[in-house]
Amino acid sequence: MGYSLGLYRFSDGELADFDMDLVRAVLSPVAAVPEGVIDGATEYWIRATDGSEAEVSVSGGEINVIRPQVGDVWKIIIELADRLRAAVLLPDGRLLCRKEMRGHLPEGMEHDAVLVAEVTLAAFERAAGPFTHPLT
């Protein structure tokens, strides 16, 4: 069974576009194939040095990470989330995000969000619980 992960950017309670220059800065060095555009979304197929891979689709203020494999590709995904100041949708429907983003979350979501100083792999694993362990 595949797993997908959603990253979101909010500004004043609304979905806001990601900085594509920053997305490219993180993903281009690990792209297994050149960046492409499909149906208005910028698509990446990324590969970590250990060979683990994921598909990444960026459209406006949403990034979908599709079928991330076990391994170091998770470090790239979490680095992307942290550098973009993105909220990560957890399997239970809560958001994991930096504390500074609290005021930008949509109304009602800020109360259930897991707020951290920085989005790290350890923070993600603690917040996501036993659904999966991305490095094993």
Tell me the per-residue pLDDT of 18-30, one tens digit each, with 9 for 90 and over: 999 999 999 999 9
Residue 18 falls inside a structural domain: yes
Decide if 94 contacts 124 (C-beta within 8 A).
no
Could you give the number of structural domains in the chain?
A: 1
1: pLDDT confidence band, cut at 50, 70 and 90? very low
Name the residue among 15, 5, 30, 3 with its Cα closest to residue 109.
15
Residues spanned by the domain of 26: 4-128
Q: Please indicate, yes or no, if residue 61 is contained in any of the structural domains.
A: yes
**Is residue 49 in some structural domain?**
yes
pLDDT tens digits, 57-109: 999 999 999 999 999 999 999 999 999 999 999 888 899 999 999 999 999 88
> Which pTM value belongs to this model?
0.88
47 vs 1: CA distance, rounded Å: 20
